[in-house]
Structure formats: C-alpha cells, structure tokens
C-alpha cells in the first residue's frame, strides 16, 4: 500500500478576508498545523483572479484548503470537512436540533450577510453607494442573528460550547453596526474574538508583501 505522507495542509488566505478567518479559527481550535499561502485581494486588482488561482478556486475567492491530497473550497464546507475528518475538539453539537441551530446561524452569516458586503460586491456597487448598501444588508442580517441568539445562546452562540456558528460570527462582528454592539438579549461576549481560546487575530496571517 505504500506509506501515506501526511502533508501539512495549505490554506490560501487573505488576512482581511472574513471567510478565511472562519477557517483559521476552526484550524486553531482543532490544533491542526497548517501553512498559509497569501492571496492578496487588493494587489493588481486581486490575485484571486489570476489564471493560476482560478484553477484552485473557480469562484476566485479565498479561502481554499489543500488537505489530504485534495483541494477544498467554500469556508463552511471546509469547516465541516475538518469536523468530519478531525473530530478532536468537536465544533458541532450532538443534538440534531442544536446542530440545525448552529447551521442556521452559519447560513444567515455566510449566505445572508457576507456575500452582500464583500469586497467584490462593493466594487460592483460603486464608491458612491457602497456604504449605504453594506449597512443595509449587514443591519438586516444582524437583526436576524440577534433574534436567533436570543433564544439559543449561552456562553457561546449555541449553548455553552464553541461551535462552527462562533467560527462564523467572530469574523463578522468587526462589521457589526453600532446599534447591535450593546445588545442585551444574549450574554455579552458572544461573537467577540476574546471569547474564543487561541482565536487567531484578524491580522495574524498578515504576511510581508
């Protein structure tokens, strides 16, 4: 059968990308060593659009993860793969209802907020309108997130254990409208990077350019 080489996973990432940050949090929590390949979303109109990277990720986005000899894209899919193949420090509850609630919060953030306010969309919206546009969709999304958290959050998004919902919420919180920053409907600290042990900072993978 031959010896299977366990190569260190490689994360294509950009330090300001909230989607990359989600995966970095999950990798840290599961204590999976990995290397970073920086993909600047700014330099030269965005390195993610070059032919070489398009072969890695046809959506021309970060993150992508090379792991187990395969290329994976889409942050939520990557995190579920890590959860299924590296079960240490589980980031999903056992209970089916709580699992659904974790996924709901992930989806509201990952399909209801982030795609509408990411860099590529704001460039398309244009300089003049982008601030109003982003605020509109972020406010709508956080109103829903807060409502969901009010019924299910404990010390973390869903109960008292860290889950994938926290991996998704933490990177979105820096763009949270001020109106939501002093919420009283769930415990203070939920969604704050400081609440997650070993949480990588947003800039921790900033590489010399």
| Interface contacts to a copy of itself, rule CB under 8 A | 58-60, 68, 70, 72-74, 76-78, 80-81, 84-85, 96-97, 99-100, 103-104, 106-108, 110-112, 114-116, 121, 124, 133, 136, 140-141, 143-144, 147-148
Supply 202's token pair.
């947003």
Compare residues 104 and 161 and give the one whose CB is closer to a copy of itself: 104
Least Å distance between CB 40 and a copy of itself?
20
Least Å distance between CB 107 and a copy of itself?
4
Supply 19's token pair.
């989607």
Residue 126 CB neighbour total at 10 angstroms: 9
Least Å distance between CB 209 and a copy of itself?
27
Compare residues 80 and 176 and give the one whose CB is closer to a copy of itself: 80
Q: What angle do CA 9, 29, 113 make, to 5 degrees?
A: 90
* Secondary structure class of 64 (helix, strand, coil): strand
Compare residues 81 and 180 and give the one whose CB is closer to a copy of itself: 81
Nearest Cα residue to 73 out of 89, 55, 87: 55
Least Å distance between CB 194 and a copy of itself?
26
In contact, 173 and 141? CB cutoff 8 Å: no
Least Å distance between CB 206 and a copy of itself?
25
Query: Is the bond leading into 50 cis (omega within 30 degrees of zero)?
Result: no
Compare residues 120 and 173 and give the one whose CB is closer to a copy of itself: 120
In contact, 34 and 9? CB cutoff 8 Å: yes
Compare residues 7 and 97 and give the one whose CB is closer to a copy of itself: 97
* Secondary structure class of 135 (helix, strand, coil): helix
Compare residues 5 and 198 and give the one whose CB is closer to a copy of itself: 5
- Which residues are registered as beta bridge partners of 153? 159
Distance linking the first and last C-alpha atoms of the chain: 42
Least Å distance between CB 190 and a copy of itself?
16
């Amino acid at each position: 059968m031959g010896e299977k080489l366990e190569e260190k996973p490689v994360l294509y990432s950009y330090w300001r990308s909230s989607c990359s940050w989600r995966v970095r949090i999950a990798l840290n929590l599961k204590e999976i060593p990995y290397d970073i390949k920086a993909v600047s979303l700014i330099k030269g109109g965005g390195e993610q659009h070059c032919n070489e990277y398009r072969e890695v990720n046809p959506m021309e986005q970060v993150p992508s993860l090379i792991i187990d000899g395969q290329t994976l894209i889409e942050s939520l899919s990557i995190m579920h793969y890590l959860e299924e193949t590296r079960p240490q420090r589980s980031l999903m509850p056992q209970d089916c209802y709580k699992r659904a609630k974790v996924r709901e919060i992930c989806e509201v953030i990952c399909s209801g907020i982030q795609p509408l306010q990411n860099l590529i969309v704001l460039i398309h919206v244009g300089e003049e309108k982008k601030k109003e546009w982003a605020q509109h969709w972020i406010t709508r999304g956080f109103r829903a997130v807060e409502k969901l958290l009010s019924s299910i959050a404990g010390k973390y998004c869903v109960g008292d254990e860290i889950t994938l919902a926290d991996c998704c919420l933490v990177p979105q919180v820096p763009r949270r409208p001020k109106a939501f920053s002093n919420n009283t409907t769930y415990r203070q600290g939920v969604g704050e990077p400081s609440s997650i042990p070993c949480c990588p900072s947003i800039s921790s993978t900033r590489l010399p350019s």
